[in-house]
Amino acid sequence: MLGRQFIRMPRFARGLATQAGPITNLPATLHLKTGQSFHGRSFGAPKSIFGETVFSTSITSYTESMTDPSYRGQILVFTTPLIGNYGVPLNKAPFDNQDVGVVLESQNIQCAAVIVGDVAEKFSHYTAVESLASWCQRHGVPAITGVDTRAITRLLRDQGTTLGRVAVGSDASLPAPEAQEFWDPSTENLVDQVSTKVPYQLNPGGSIKIAVLDFGAKANILRSLVRRDAAVTVLPWNYDFNAVSDQYDGLFLTNGPGDPGHCMEAALKLRRTLQEWDKPVFGICMGHQIIGMAAGLEAYRMTFGNRGHNQPVLALASAGSIKAGRVYVTSQNHQYALKLEDPFPQGWEPFFINCNDSSVEGIKSTADSGRKVWGVQFHPESAGGPLDTIEMFTDFVLECKAHKLQTASFTPQKSVDSSPVDTFVKPTVMPRIAVHA
């Protein structure tokens, strides 16, 4: 009898899956500007939107992808057939030396809409508190299921990222919009929409002070810094860091959405920083592109970009935990990249290159430049994705600590008046980590 009970336990556990809830029978259609239409049914908010249609090859971590500010204004197509099977967790965490107030990558869903082949009718995970359907409805994000995402992905791969329209309910039966009606989010400064408006501080008791220029930061970037004992001050994307640079041991530039050309103001300010400041600088994704433009490189728009957790990159140089000649599997989400130029700007060299399309995946300052600057197009902190390059955060923090110790040994002790930025304390309310959509 006891043996039969144990045999039945897996079946019993499977029965604990929670019904996903209100998946409606409202019709929904995805119209592409290139003329194709895909018909399914709605499981998100009953509203219609315009956006830029992109695809992600991520197999898991749909909640992290959807809350990534780099997806601002985009209609996100998941190539994985089944989405929603493990639900959505409670998106709250403490503010301490281990976390930054949220579990996911920002406070709210950032993408404009979601397209999936088959949304799960049941979800099961010990941290789940709601279904993907109810989460989308609660955040006002339209979503479509029951369409051929393979066909959509092949179209986007062949013709490139395409403007789209998600039509829900009575709008689904209307004719496709005229070409001039489609909205192109890349014409707007999306970084300004998602960046923090006021500076705030995390983990003020950290042993080193890192300034973070927020172009639309994923929370796991900030989490990866505070967990390495850094006191982090998050600044707006166009903040004049040069005015307060003497207060910090390192500068970090985050990811962000849209065209880096809208952030030339930040690149010009960073150019001055790189000329006058000798402390470590690290940039990811949009931050990497800003570093490249400050160095004199040009950013260009890729055909369909790289989005997914399985992008291989080849290291062309060694630095810290990164070894030249090794291939690393990375998590990526970008539409733009830096041009590979020959010769490279003086004092700079390519760091990584994509094994699939040969695009530039990283740059770094040369050994003889006197600087410690790195930029990578991928996400070392993943969330989700592989952790092949996570130790780049450790490399950066260790360089900041080493420079601080070296500077302290040559600098006489003296009292310095604190500036307003230096006096920030942990807010009594949650800081706007990746301002909600």
In tens, the pLDDT along 363-382 reads 999 999 999 999 999 999 98
* pTM for this entry: 0.90
- Determine the length of the chain: 437
216 pLDDT above the threshold of 90: yes
Q: List for the chain the helix, strand, coil content (%; round to 5).
A: 30, 30, 45
CA 123 to chain CA mean position, Å: 25
Do 284 and 217 contact (CB within 8 A), yes or no? no
In tens, the pLDDT along 378-435 reads 999 988 889 999 999 999 999 999 999 988 766 555 444 444 343 333 433 344 554 4
Compute the distance between CA of residue 77 and CA of residue 165 in angstroms, rounded to an integer: 13
Q: Is 69 helix (H, G, I), strand (E, B) or coil?
A: helix
Within the chain, all domains assigned CATH 3.50.30.20 are found at 17-172
1 pLDDT above the threshold of 80: no
In tens, the pLDDT along 86-123 reads 999 999 999 999 999 999 999 999 999 999 999 998 99
In this prediction, residue 8 has a pLDDT band, given cuts at 50, 70 and 90, of very low
* Phi/psi-derived region of residue 320, left when phi > 0, alpha when psi is between -120 and 50, beta in every other case: left
Question: Which amino acid, one-letter code, is at 381?
Answer: E
In tens, the pLDDT along 321-373 reads 999 999 999 999 999 999 998 999 999 999 999 999 999 999 999 999 999 99
Tokens of 3: 């043996």
199 pLDDT above the threshold of 50: yes
Do 293 and 330 contact (CB within 8 A), yes or no? no
Q: Which CATH superfamily is domain 190-423 in?
A: Class I glutamine amidotransferase (GATase) domain (3.40.50.880)
Compute the distance between CA of residue 194 and CA of residue 188 in angstroms, rounded to an integer: 12
* Phi/psi-derived region of residue 344, left when phi > 0, alpha when psi is between -120 and 50, beta in every other case: beta
* Phi/psi-derived region of residue 59, left when phi > 0, alpha when psi is between -120 and 50, beta in every other case: alpha
Residue 362: how many CB atoms within 10 A of its CB? 30
Question: Catalytic positions, please?
Answer: 285, 379, 381
CA angle 278, 282, 288 (to 5 degrees): 120
Compute the distance between CA of residue 90 and CA of residue 102 in angstroms, rounded to an integer: 9
Within the chain, all domains assigned CATH 3.40.50.880 are found at 190-423
Query: Does domain 17-172 sit in CATH 3.50.30.20?
Result: yes
